[in-house]
Amino acid sequence: MLRFAAARLLASLPVLVLVSLVSFSVMHLIPGDPASVIAGPAATNQEIEQIRRSLGLDRPFLEQMAAWYWNVLQGDLGRSILLGTSVWQALVDRLPVTGSLAVLALVMTVAIGVPAGVLAALRANSAVDAAVTGFALLGVSVPSFWLALMLIVLFSVILEWLPTGGYVPLSASPVDWFRSLLMPSVSLALLQIGLLARITRATMLEVLRQDYVRTARAKGLPRAMVIGKHALKNVMVPVITVIGISFGLLLSGSIVIETVYSLPGIGRLVATSIFGRDYPVIQGTLLLTATMLVLLNLVVDLLYAAIDPRVRYGR
Amino acid sequence: MALTRRDLLAGTAGVVALGTTAGPAAAQRRGGDLVFGQEASVPTLDMHFSTSIASRNTALNMYEMLVTRNEQNAVVPDLAETWEVSADQRTYTFSLRRGVKFHNGKEMTSADVLASWQRYQRVGLQRRILDAVERLEAPDANTFVVRLKEQQATFLDNISAFTTPITIHPAEERDKEGGKLEPIGTGPFRLEEFVADSHVLIRRFDGYVPNPNHRGTDGFAGHKQALVDSVRLRLVREPGARVAGLETGELHIVEDVPTQAAKRLKDHAEIQLLPLRHWWLHAAWVNHARGPTDRLLVRRAIQTALDMEAIMEIATDGSYDLQPGLQYPGNPYYTDAGKQYYNVNDPARAKALLKEAGYNGEELVIITNSSYASMYNAAVVVTEQLRGIGMKVRMDVFDWATAIARRRDRTTWNLWFTGQGTGPSVGPFTALIDVVSPQLNQFVPDPELDRIYAELVSDPDEAARKRHFARFQERVYEQVHFLKFGDLTKIQAARRIVQGFRPYRIPRFWNVSLGA
């Protein structure tokens, strides 16, 4: 198992190099740079060039890239052009916000999506099934920014239960932390709940038709054991794959949600950086999220083995 | 039109007068934490190195200038007590106010002013306004002298403009690169916390000594008193969330309320709307170097075809004024010269002009951006109106950074959609520099325009300068260097608990208090 994990991590290094290489090239190839954004549309070419020189953007592309890789190897992601801080500090400051948001949304997704999918499969073609499928369809169809605004109107403006936006750190007040993240997490999770419920339902229906389930029933096992032990374990393999993908989607979805709810997280950081062409921050953020996704995939692979005894790594 | 500007103004005028009277600051309540919801993130607090309105929102409550603008946009002293101009108009001697302290406790002297100006000359984004400076001197601790190479009638206008203001900082900041400035100034608020894409927290500076030469709020000058303990400028990009925050009371003041939301808030018992008319001038640059707009008759055809009311209605959702001036009404240099070319809305004549120009279906390329909805919407309407007179039009939509980069390439566009906010408000000299050499957004020099501009900036007689400006504006219209559509109204709103907040181009948090 350990050898497998180590090999996987080693194999992911080229992926990370490729991601950073592509992002570095693409960002530098698209028109517009931080100097233009800082100077504004009315600046002369001469003024832009001067700012470019002061930011070190006049150096040859390959030289800039080599310097960036050299610094990354030493653990230095560089300094943000627009934020005035180190990229590492900018990420460390914002990671708790997006991390909290994604984890809460993931917990909601799993806690609601899996049971709802199982229930719909067990009561296939009933009113319960129709309700779950309908809710799932709604979740997949409703744009998250619209839902976010509607939640603000209902729970903040009309009912006055929750704040309209902003983030309270967990260390400052766990209750306010939860209140500040509740609506954003729901807005983010709804799509994933819909997806997960549909996948779970479809997989469960497939599993319930398998011979081993019929055998388990035939030998007189209680229904709860048939479902909970024999069926659900087999459902979990594809479901865990989807959960892994969901986590990635939650990170990208946070760009919209963090903007609507004014949460200073990674999503908003990357959006601001792209519009401002803050190259070091874009590079650092992509490297971080790519690393997180690589690790997440590894965890998903390891979970396969934990759930399915037929899967063994390292032999 | 769901809510007209007139409806809005009629519904709020009384409220504004009641709710925003400055009054004697001493009678107002002290304390409390004010929260301001702003639409754009603050990229930097180095005002020498920023053209961002969001930066000004914060920084001009923390920093001050030698001379600044009052409520009527006239030049007034701020950190300077007085100034004298030599007989040859080439030497300006500023006497500094005494006892002014920086946020780090150090007393401000002429050495700090000298160092700040020297830094601006090196890194200031609009350092060209100091091109006429021959020498800067600090002969004693309270005197700052500027010697010019040649007389420049607009010198005081230039150095008091707040587009990229020459803010004064401790002398130790002289050699700091652009964007690396320590945020220390002499203003009534000092920086407490700055998280670039989240919020800026500024706190009352207890060492601040208000300028005794003024009473009440007066532009960026005045008798400034920080009455609230702190101001948190929270970034709330989404307009719906900003309005919701105001309704719940989480935000005390917000900027840029959408017109539809303003209609709903008009009768809200706890909220007052504060419309700022003539906030932003919607326009497009015209490229004279690329066909078909390299021909004056084609440019005239475009100018003649446009229906500005339709463009502004869609662009601003009904919050606008139509007027031809390249200055805002009320500005000293305001003129309607060239009005015969504005909002002509005569497609038949435009078609005839196209025919006369020999237009043969060449493609006209419009560049607009997705970052500013009103610019995008204006471009959509202009595209359709020009197709209506038989032009072949392509609209390219980019994000702001890409659009800016494209603007410098004369081969890729004919009309480039933009807007000017602060520029026209500080006088004609900053705004119009864009169409004179060497800036030349239209790429082809207009010697006549350059000549008028040279007279405008050098004529010592103010009345004559106003005449030159009127001629300048008319020339811009005649040659179609610039297509002006109209003026956008920006709607701010505040909870009624907020006292003393007077709408201005930049929110001023001094002399503002939170009632019970």
Q: Please tell me which residue, B366 or A25, carries the higher pLDDT value.
A: B366
Q: Are A103 and A300 in contact (CB under 8 A)?
A: no
CA B262 – CA B273 distance, rounded (Å): 7
Q: Which residues of B touch A153 (CB under 8 A)?
A: 240, 244
pLDDT number for residue B13: 40
- The residue among B46, B49, B404, B440 with the most chain A CBs within 10 A of its CB, best to mutate, is B404
Of the candidates A235, A233, A226, which has an alpha carbon nearest to the alpha carbon of residue A200?
A: A235
Among A251, A73, A272, A153, which residue's Cα sits nearest to residue B244? A153
Contact check, Cβ <8 Å, B401/A276: yes
Whole-angstrom distance, CA of residue B46 vs CA of residue B55: 8
Determine, for residues A272 and B41 on separate chains, whether the beta-carbon distance falls below 8 Å: yes
What secondary structure letter does DSSP report for B446? Answer: -
Q: Which chain B residues have a beta carbon less than 8 Å from that of A54?
A: 123, 177-178
Q: Say whether A268 and B197 touch across the interface (CB within 8 A).
A: yes
State residue B184's pLDDT score: 97
Q: How far apart are CA B490 and CA B278, in angstroms?
A: 8
From CA A315, how far away is CA A202, in angstroms rounded? 33
- What percent of chain B is helix, strand and coil (3-state, nearest 5)? 35, 25, 45
Under the banding of pLDDT at 50, 70 and 90, the label for residue A313 is low
Mark yes or no for CB contact A38/B418 under 8 Å: no
| Higher per-residue confidence, A31 vs B262 | B262
**B481 interaction partners in chain A (CB closer than 8 Å):** none
Nearest residue to A209 via CA among A125, A121, A80: A121
Q: Judge: B405–A32 Cβ closer than 8 Å, yes or no.
A: yes
Render pLDDT for B3-62 as a digit per residue (tens, 0 to 9): 444 444 444 443 333 334 344 444 568 899 999 999 988 888 999 998 888 899 999 999
Show which of residues 2-31 on chain A sit within 8 Å of chain B, judged by CB atoms: 30-31
Give B 333-372 residues with CB within 8 A of chain A.
371
Instruction: Give A264→chain B minimum CA distance, Å.
Output: 5
Residues A135-162 have a mean pLDDT of 91
> Which residues neighbour A291 within 8 Å (Cβ) at sequence distance 6 or greater?
A16
DSSP letter assigned to residue B255:
S
pLDDT at A57: 86
Residues of chain A contacting residue B441, judged by C-beta atoms under 8 Å apart: 42
Of B227, B225, B205, give the one whose Cα is nearest residue B101: B205
Q: How far is B462 from chain A (nearest CA, A)?
A: 27
Residue B435 is classified by DSSP as G
CA-CA distance, A281 to A84, in Å (whole number)? Answer: 11
Do the Cβ atoms of B245 and A164 come within 8 Å? yes
Q: Does B234 sit within 8 Å of A262, measured CB to CB?
A: yes
Q: What percent of chain A has pLDDT over 70?
A: 99
Q: Looking at chain A, which residue has its C-alpha nearest residue B53?
A: A40
Residue B191 phi/psi, 5-degree rounding, is -75, 135
Q: Is the pLDDT of residue A186 over 90?
A: yes
Q: Which residues neighbour B359 within 8 Å (Cβ) at sequence distance 6 or greater?
A: B292, B298, B301, B390, B391
What the block records as the tokens of B255 is 């900027």
Residues 6+ apart with CB under 8 A from A141: none
A168 in contact with chain B, both atoms CB, cutoff 8 A: no
CA angle in degrees (0–180, nearest 5) for B460-B465-B467: 145
pLDDT of residue A17: 87
Confidence of residue A300 (pLDDT cuts 50, 70, 90): confident
Burial class of residue A306, CB neighbours in 10 A (0-12, 13-18, 19+): exposed
Phi and psi, residue B369, nearest 5°: -135, 160
Confidence of residue A29 (pLDDT cuts 50, 70, 90): confident
Please return the burial class of B378, using the count of CB atoms within 10 Å of its CB with bins 0-12, 13-18 and 19+.
buried
Using the beta-carbon criterion (under 8 Å), do A262 and B236 form an inter-chain contact? yes
Q: Is the pLDDT of residue A112 over 60?
A: yes
Beta strands in B236-317 (DSSP E): 253-254, 271-286
ipTM associated with this complex: 0.81
3-class DSSP state for residue B413? Answer: coil
- pLDDT band for A314, please (50, 70, 90 cuts): low
- Coil, helix or strand for B34? strand
> A196-211, pLDDT tens digit by residue?
999 999 999 999 898 9
Residue B368, min C-alpha distance to chain A (Å) = 12
SS3 sequence of chain A? CHHHHHHHHHHHHHHHHHHHHHHHHHHHHCCCCHHHHHHCCCCCHHHHHHHHHHHCCCCCHHHHHHHHHHHHHCCCCCECCCCCCEHHHHHHHHHHHHHHHHHHHHHHHHHHHHHHHHHHHHCCCCHHHHHHHHHHHHHHHCCHHHHHHHHHHHHHHHCCCCCCCCCCCCCCCHHHHHHHHHHHHHHHHHHHHHHHHHHHHHHHHHHHCCHHHHHHHHCCCCHHHHHHHHHHHHHHHHHHHHHHHHHHHHHHHHHHHHHHCCCCCHHHHHHHHHHHCCHHHHHHHHHHHHHHHHHHHHHHHHHHHHHCCCCCCCC
Q: What confidence score (pLDDT) does residue A131 get?
A: 93
Q: Inspect the interface and report whether the beta carbons of B244 and A167 lie closer than 8 Å.
A: no
Q: What are the per-10-residue average pLDDT scores of chain B (516 residues)?
A: 45 39 55 94 90 90 96 91 94 97 97 98 90 96 96 91 94 92 96 90 96 89 95 93 95 93 92 94 96 97 98 94 93 93 97 97 96 93 98 95 89 94 80 78 92 89 93 96 95 95 93 89
Asked if B193 reaches chain A (Cβ–Cβ under 8 Å), the answer is no
- pLDDT at A284 exceeding the cut of 80: yes
Q: Which chain B residues touch A260 with a CB distance below 8 Å?
A: 238, 240-241
Confidence (pLDDT) at B516: 67
Amino acid at position A36, single letter: S
HSE-up of A62 (CA within 13 Å, CB side)? 0
| Chain A residues with CB-CB distance to B56 below 8 A | none
Average pLDDT over residues A252-257: 86
The answer to whether the pTM exceeds 0.80 is: yes
Query: What are the structural domains, with CATH classification, of chain A?
Result: 87-276 (1.10.3720.10)
List C-alpha distances in Å: A145 to A245, B38, B339: 21, 19, 44
Inform me whether the C-beta atom of residue A40 falls under 8 Å from chain B C-beta atoms.
Answer: yes
Q: Are A239 and A114 in contact (CB under 8 A)?
A: yes
Judging contacts by C-beta atoms under 8 Å, the chain B residues touching residue A51 are 125, 178
Of A47, A82, A160, the CB nearest to B196: A82
CA distances to B114, B379, B504 from B376, in Å: 43, 5, 26
Contact A156 B244 (CB under 8 A): yes
What was the pLDDT predicted at B10? 46
The answer to whether the CB atoms of A262 and B198 lie below 8 A apart is: yes
List of E strands, B214-348: 217-218, 221-222, 230-235, 253-254, 271-286, 320-321
Integer-rounded Cα Rg, in Å, for chain B is 23
Distance from CA of B402 to the nearest CA of A (A): 5
- Are the beta carbons of A260 and B245 separated by less than 8 Å? no
Is the sign of the CA dihedral B334, B336, B337, B341 positive or negative? positive
- What tokens appear for B236 in the block? 């709330």
Distances in Å between the Cα of A141 and the Cα atoms of A134, A145, A151, A182, A183 are 10, 12, 16, 21, 18
DSSP state letter for B101: B
pLDDT tens profile B320-351: 999 999 999 988 899 999 999 999 999 999 99
